[in-house]
């Protein structure tokens, strides 16, 4: 007990000495400590309540809201991207369909034209064949006609030659002779 | 004692005068409720914090303005520090740690204004801050872990013969924590301000042409701006480290 | 006379601050060396850097405190 009072006295003395010293360190002036501690306590309590009741929940909510907005925006962007991909796919599909259709039409048309062409060619061939046959008969006729004419001419000529030579041409003999010659 | 040595004809530098506590009104005794310059500058710190953290965020904008950005940055900075250093279960103490950080950082920066008074340069102020942390952490440690909190001092990974010696060292360093915690802040701030005042005294003595002292003041001032933030950061991060020890005392 | 001795003591104690500065410089230098060797891990270790600096500085601050007490309180 006595000891504590002694130390208290000693600290009091030191304190007085410190106060009396004009250039003493203001930080060690114990008389101002209660004042500083009191106002510090007030300040800390005020700051603590301002921060914990108003500022920090508000900032936390703003940050959470921002995170939510960003997440939503990203989700929306992703949605739009998916939609765009889908649209592109549809477009590609339509394009491919149109291509196959066009190819189909081309093939069909080609086949049709080919068929028409074939038919026309066949018809033409038939016509040509008919004409050829006709011509052949005509040629054969002409050839036969020509043979007859040649025969007649040869007979006449032979008769004339015989007559000219002074003979008497027997019609039957001349004819058979000419025919035999012509065959030979 | 120190200033008495310099006579009236000598160099008149009173680097410690800036730390004097004076009543705002009159010249009487300083009782604990007297409004002093401590009151004024602490009130200004509150005003600055309110302007930044409450008024600055009042628009609740999704795309933040400048002040709201700074407020959110401070929030994110301390929140991440608490989460990373002290652990996820320490988030409940975040408002108090934020209070400490905001008070210290604003007191330090307001103290850098010319003719101002720096509340955090006073050992009484920082000692209270440090003791609040020390007592709070010790109480939290015992409440959360019971007697096993004492395992903090019993380094189970060390050889058995060394453990008692280590325990003595650990206990000593544990009780030295509030001292170093408080003196570090006050000492850094006080030393920087005193150095600036000493150079200012040289500049005043040299009058016109005091280029060197003014250059030195500028350099030290720039350093002090850095120190003002770093000391607030260090105080806060050490609080988180101590809190981690209290929540997870296993070594 | 006693005051003069106290001032000498304060000067001696003040030297401790400079020695602590060596410690702080050591911490920062080793951090920088490590950070240059592995820059990707550096950012995650700045908190440890400041904690290390704070602990190294604490002892220097004790000598500063002793110097102040010798100057003004004894």
At A177, phi and psi to the nearest 5? Answer: -65, -40
Please provide the average confidence, as pLDDT, over all residues in chain B.
87
Residue in C closest to B181 by C-alpha: C58
Say yes or no to pLDDT of A13 above 80: no
Q: What is the mean pLDDT of residues B52-62?
A: 87
**Does the structure show a pLDDT above 70 at B95?**
yes
| DSSP string over C35-70 | HHH-HHHHGGGHHHHHHHHHHHHHHHHHHHHHHHII
Mean pLDDT value across residues B157-186: 88
User: pLDDT digits over A128-140, tens only?
Assistant: 999 999 999 999 9
Q: What is the pLDDT of residues A53-81, one digit of tens each?
A: 999 999 999 999 888 989 999 999 999 99
DSSP secondary structure of B77-106: HHHHHIIIII-GGGGGGHHHHHHHHHHHHH
Q: Are C71 and C12 contacting, i.e. CB atoms less than 8 angstroms apart?
A: no
Cβ distance B234 to C47 less than 8 Å, yes or no, reads: no
Residue B3 has a pLDDT of 40
CA A118 from centroid of its chain's CA atoms: 38
Whichever domain contains C47, its CATH number is 1.20.20.10
Q: Is pLDDT at A152 greater than 70 in this prediction?
A: yes
Cβ contacts of B148-151, under 8 Å, gap ≥ 24: B148/B249, B149/B246, B149/B249, B150/B249, B151/B249, B151/B250, B151/B251
Is A166 in contact with A143 (CB distance < 8 Å)?
no
Angle at B9 between CA B6 and CA B14, to 5 degrees: 40
Is residue B178 a contact partner of residue B130, using CB atoms and an 8 Å limit?
yes
* The pLDDT of residue B12 is above 70: no
Q: Does B186 touch chain A (CB under 8 A)?
A: yes
Total structural domains in chain C? 1
CA-based nearest distance A86→chain B, Å: 32
What is the pLDDT, as a whole number, of residue A1?
39
Instruction: Identify the segments of chain C with pLDDT beneath 70.
Output: 1-2, 74
Task: Kindly list the domain boundaries of chain A, sorted by start residue.
Answer: 2-183
Neighbour subunits, C (≥3 Cβ pairs < 8 A) = A, B
pLDDT at C28: 92
The answer to whether A39 contacts B38, with C-beta atoms less than 8 Å apart, is yes
Of B122 and B29, the structure prediction assigns the larger pLDDT to: B122
Chain C residues with CB under 8 Å of B233 CB are 50
pLDDT, one tens digit per residue, over B188-236 is 898 889 888 888 888 888 877 778 888 989 999 998 999 899 999 999 9
Neighboring chain A residues of C68 at a CB cutoff of 8 Å: 25, 28
Reported as a single tens digit per residue, the pLDDT across B114-131 is 888 999 999 899 999 999
Q: Which residues, other chains included, contact A138 with Cβ-Cβ below 8 Å and sequence gap of 6+?
A: none
Q: Which of A1-10, B9-18, B45-54 has the lowest mean pLDDT?
A: A1-10
Among residues B104, A2, B187, A172, which one has the least CA distance to residue C64? B187
B84/C47 CB distance under 8 A:
yes
Q: A50 has which bridge partners?
A: none
């Amino acid at each position: 007990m006595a000891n504590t009072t002694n130390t208290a006295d000693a600290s009091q003395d030191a304190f007085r000495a410190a106060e009396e010293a004009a250039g003493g360190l203001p930080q060690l002036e114990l008389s101002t400590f209660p004042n500083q501690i009191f106002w510090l306590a007030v300040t800390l309590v005020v700051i603590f309540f301002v921060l914990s009741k108003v500022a920090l929940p508000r900032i936390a909510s703003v940050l959470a809201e921002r995170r939510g907005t960003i997440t939503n925006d990203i989700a929306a962007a992703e949605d739009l991207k998916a939609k765009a991909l889908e649209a592109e796919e549809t477009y590609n599909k339509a394009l491919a369909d149109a291509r196959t259709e066009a190819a189909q039409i081309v093939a069909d048309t080609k086949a049709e034209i080919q068929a028409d062409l074939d038919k026309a060619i066949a018809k033409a061939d038939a016509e040509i064949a008919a004409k050829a046959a006709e011509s052949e008969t005509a040629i054969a006729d002409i050839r036969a006609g020509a043979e007859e004419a040649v025969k007649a001419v040869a007979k006449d000529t032979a008769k004339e030659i015989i007559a000219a030579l002074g003979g008497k041409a027997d019609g039957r003999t001349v004819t058979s002779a000419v025919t035999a010659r012509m065959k030979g | 004692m120190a200033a008495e040595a310099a006579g009236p004809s000598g160099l008149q530098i009173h680097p410690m005068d800036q730390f004097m506590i004076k009543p705002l009104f009159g010249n009487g005794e300083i009782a604990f409720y007297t409004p002093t310059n401590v009151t004024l500058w602490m009130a200004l710190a509150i005003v600055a914090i309110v302007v930044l953290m409450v008024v600055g965020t009042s628009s609740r904008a999704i795309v933040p303005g400048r002040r709201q950005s700074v407020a959110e940055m401070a929030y994110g900075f301390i929140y991440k520090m608490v989460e990373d250093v002290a652990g996820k279960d320490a988030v409940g103490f975040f408002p108090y740690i934020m209070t400490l950080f905001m008070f210290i950082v604003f007191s330090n920066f307001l103290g850098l204004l010319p003719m101002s008074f720096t509340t955090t340069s006073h050992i009484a102020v920082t000692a209270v801050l440090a003791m609040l942390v020390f007592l709070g952490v010790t109480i939290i440690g015992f409440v959360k872990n019971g007697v096993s909190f004492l395992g903090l001092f019993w380094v189970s990974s060390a050889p058995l013969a060394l453990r008692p010696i280590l325990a003595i060292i650990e206990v000593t360093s544990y009780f030295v924590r509030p001292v170093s915690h408080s003196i570090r802040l006050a000492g850094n701030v006080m030393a920087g301000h005193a150095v600036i005042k000493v150079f200012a005294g040289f500049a005043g003595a040299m009058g016109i042409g005091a280029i060197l002292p003014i250059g030195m003041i500028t350099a030290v001032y720039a350093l002090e701006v850095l120190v003002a933030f770093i000391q607030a950061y260090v105080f806060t991060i050490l609080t988180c480290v101590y809190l981690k020890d209290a929540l997870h005392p296993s070594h | 006379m006693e005051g003069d001795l106290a001032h000498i003591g304060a000067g001696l104690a003040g030297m401790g601050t400079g020695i602590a500065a060596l410690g702080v410089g050591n911490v920062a230098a080793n951090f920088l060396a490590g950070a240059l060797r592995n820059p990707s891990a550096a950012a995650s270790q700045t908190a440890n850097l400041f904690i290390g600096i704070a602990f190294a500085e604490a002892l220097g601050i004790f000598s500063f405190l002793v110097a102040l007490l010798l100057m003004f309180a004894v």
